[in-house]
Structures are given as structure tokens and as C-alpha cells.
Structure 1
Amino acid sequence: MRLTKLGHACVQITRDDRTILIDPGTFSEASGALATADAVLITHEHFDHFDADALRAAMAARPALEVWTSRAVAGNLADLGGRVHQVGHGDAVTIAGFDVHVYGEDHELMHPDLPPVPNVGFLVDGEVFHPGDALTVPSEPVPTLCLPGNAPWMRALDLYTYTREVRPERAFAIHDGLLNDIGLSVMERVLTSAGEELGREFRRLTPGTSVELATK
């Protein structure tokens, strides 16, 4: 299995001749990947994870392309009919040949007076977990965690706490598109420290970088 970061929160997962794309938002570099993906997974409705115009264009050009997502995004794309699949916490589905387990219900709180938007995380083939904008802890082991590295709703303490709860074998930072070079260097120091405390490999992938994952 190959995991490729395509910018900010977007990752591409490839196994054999199958590819899925998770969260190709407006901060990602996903136009080429949208043109070749077998399926697209969207964790929630925020623009840095869900580029409605780009996704609609890709689906218009490729009638076989389908989407799995939260109820809010599914509602936004309701006019596309059966090509859009709403999923929620506890679902287990097969998507383009991948076994996908869905975990989580809500985005982390952004405002004290506003309810969170729906957010679902995806565990792919029992190997890679993308939580979206939530610190969801799946009820099964997570070998590889796509770890939010920075967000308006996140503190360094959250990164340490979350990785201690999930205890992945490896973690690769995503959700870092708001940081300049100074911010990235600070985030990477925190990330490295959190990994060292658990004796694990935690690091940031730069956009366009891939890692090969040895799966069972």
C-alpha cells in the first residue's frame, strides 16, 4: 500500500491498481488525482477538505466516479443521486476494493455557542486512519495515523494526548496548510517529540511525498 500526501489534509491511498482519494479540498493539489481516483472520501464540509466545484467537475467528466461522505456533504451533492453515499460512525463498507471502517460523528468544537458540523473518519484496509477534523479514537488498532498537525481548533497538547490514546505504529502529519516555514518547524519538533515518547516514527510528509506501507 502506498500513502501519498497531496497537500494540507488530502491523501491518496493506492493498493495494486486501485486508488482512493481522501479530502481533496481547496488547499490541496489534487486535480490530477481526481482525474484518476477510483473513489473519493470526504470527512466533512469545510472548504479545505471539500472542494465542491472541483469534485463536481471530476464527476461530470467521469460518470463512474463515486463519493462516500458525511451527511452534510451528501446533502450538498444530493442532485448526483446514487453516486454519493452517506456513511456514519460504525459503518463498514467496501469502496473500490478497499475495506473501510467509519469512525466519528462530529468535528472538533470551533465556537463555544455553535454545534459542531458532522465529521467522519475513515480507516482503510485496517491500516490508514484519516480522522478529518476530529480527534477520534477508533475501537481497533491504527497502524498508520494521518495526524492533524495544526488547526484553529487544536493545541500542541491535543497532539500529544491524541497520539497517546491512538498509539499508532507510525504517524504522518497532515492538516498543515495554514503554517509558514517557522510554524512548520515548530510543529515538526512537537511531532518528533510525541513520537519519541512512544518509541514510534512520527513525521511530516511534504506535499507530493509517498511512503510504502507493509500491510498484512
Structure 2
Amino acid sequence: MLITHLGHSCLLVEVDGARLLLDPGVFSRGFEELTDLDAVLITHQHADHVDVERLPTLLEANDGARLVAEPETAAELRQAGIEAEPLHAGDTLEVAGTTLRGAGGRHAVIHPEIPRVGNVGMLVGTSRADGGDGLLLHPGDAYDVVPGDVDVLALPLNAPWAKVSETIDYLRAVSPSVAVPIHDALLLPPARAMYLGHCTRLAPPGTSVVDFNGGQPLDVLT
């Protein structure tokens, strides 16, 4: 499984022969230059996970790529003139030879007076235990999606809805083989290193926390 971090929560994932882009948002850079994508996947409607201004250019450059989004997000995109397939929690799709499953359903609580929006975690691929190239979980903005057999967890490091103890507890609950850091655009480098250090030191047994290298593809399961 090859993963390229394009900033914040945006990942290019190459698994089972499929080339998938997750959560191209306003804090992410370089995704609009990608080609040969099989699908674009969006966990929820917040702008740091979907840049509605740049999304049409991305789709034009990837004619035939499927746009799959959390249902509320799909409805909002249609209102903006962008057609998207809704993915509900529990749904399974076959995308270019790999499997996509939705999990969860609601965004984490930011504040009781801020309405919660839909949020569908994306499970991409097939676990190595089942003979696949690996199963990646991108939870979007929630820590309540805890499926089994996750090989790679895209771990949100920092958010208005999270504190570091919750991040570590979530990492331990999922207990993947590998965790890679996402959702980090609000952190200056020293603070990011501190968050990443906490997660590395307090990771569960058998989990490696692996950082990205300046936008280069990372083979996470070798």
C-alpha cells in the first residue's frame, strides 16, 4: 500500500491496483495536479476536507473517476452542480478492484451549540489477514469508528473536537499495524512533533507510528 500525504487530511492511496484520493480540502496542496485517479472519496462536508472550488478542476482532469461522499456532503455537492455518489455507514462499494466501506455516521462534537454534521469513515482495501494488500481506515472527523483488522490508520492528530488523550485512546482502540498522522494543518512544526511524539510513545504494542516524508509516497506495509 502506497500513501502520499498532500496536507492535512488529504491522502492519495494506492492499494489493490486502485488509485484513490481522500478528503481534498482547503488546507491541502497538490491534489489538483493528480491524474489517473479511480475515485475521489470525501468523509464529510467541512471545507478542510472538501474544497468545492478546486474539486471541479480535479474531476475534469480525471474523467471517469467516481466521486463518493458522505450522504449530506453528496447532497450539498449536488446543489453546487457536482454529482456525487452517497456512501452511508454500512455501505460497501467495489472501486477499481478494491473495496470501499463506510463506517460511523456523525462528526465528533465540537461544542454542544454547534450542530453535528454527517461523517462517514472510509475503509479502503482488504486486510492482509484476508489476503489483500491491506485495509486503511480514514475516520474523517470522529474517534468512534473502531472496526477490526485495520492494517493502517490515518490518525487525526489535532482538531477543535479532540484532545491528545482522546487521540491516544483512539489509536489504542483501533490498534492498527501502522498509524500515519493526518489532520495536522493547525499545528506548527514543534507542536506537531510533540503530538506525534505522544502518539509514538503511547501507541499500543504492535503498532508503529510512521511519519510522512515531505510529500513522497510511503510504502506503509513493507
Secondary structure of 1:105's counterpart equals: strand
- Give the CA RMSD over aligned residues: 1.8
User: 1:5 is matched with which residue?
Assistant: 5
Residue 173, structure 1, aligned to residue 181, structure 2: yes
User: 1:87 is matched with which residue?
Assistant: 87
User: 1:212 is matched with which residue?
Assistant: 219
The offset of 1:158, in angstroms, is 0.5
The offset of 1:60, in angstroms, is 3.6
Residue 31, structure 1, aligned to residue 39, structure 2: no
Number of residues paired by the alignment? 211
Letter in structure 1 aligned against 2:87 = V
Tell me which stretches of 4 or more aligned residues in structure 1 moved more than 4 Å.
Answer: none
The offset of 1:214, in angstroms, is 4.0
The 5-angstrom pairing of residues 149-188 of structure 1 reads 149-188=157-196
Secondary structure of 1:172's counterpart equals: strand
The offset of 1:140, in angstroms, is 2.5
CA distance, structure 2, for counterparts of residue 23 and residue 48 of structure 1: 8
Residue 148, structure 1, aligned to residue 156, structure 2: yes
Asked whether the 8 Å contact 1:169–1:200 carries over to 2, the reply is yes
Which sections of structure 1, spanning at least 5 residues, go unmatched? none
The offset of 1:110, in angstroms, is 1.0
The offset of 1:206, in angstroms, is 4.3
Deviations 1:168-203 (A, max 9, x none): 1110111101111221121121121122x4242113
Letter in structure 1 aligned against 2:69 = T
Letter in structure 2 aligned against 1:212 = D
Which sections of structure 2, spanning at least 5 residues, go unmatched? 127-134
User: 2:123 is matched with which residue?
Assistant: 123
User: 2:201 is matched with which residue?
Assistant: 193
- Flag the structure with higher helix content: 1
User: 1:132 is matched with which residue?
Assistant: 140
Flag the 1:63–1:170 CA change in 2: closer, same or farther, 3 A.
closer
The offset of 1:62, in angstroms, is 4.1
CA distance, structure 2, for counterparts of residue 25 and residue 5 of structure 1: 12
CA distance, structure 1, for counterparts of residue 119 and residue 178 of structure 2: 23
Asked whether the 8 Å contact 1:174–1:205 carries over to 2, the reply is no
CA distance, structure 2, for counterparts of residue 71 and residue 159 of structure 1: 26
CA distance, structure 2, for counterparts of residue 203 and residue 190 of structure 1: 13
The offset of 1:163, in angstroms, is 1.2
Q: Provide TM-score, normalisation by structure 1.
A: 0.90
Asked whether the 8 Å contact 1:7–1:207 carries over to 2, the reply is no
Asked whether the 8 Å contact 2:16–2:125 carries over to 1, the reply is no
Asked whether the 8 Å contact 2:17–2:97 carries over to 1, the reply is no
| Percent of residue pairs bearing the same amino acid type | 34
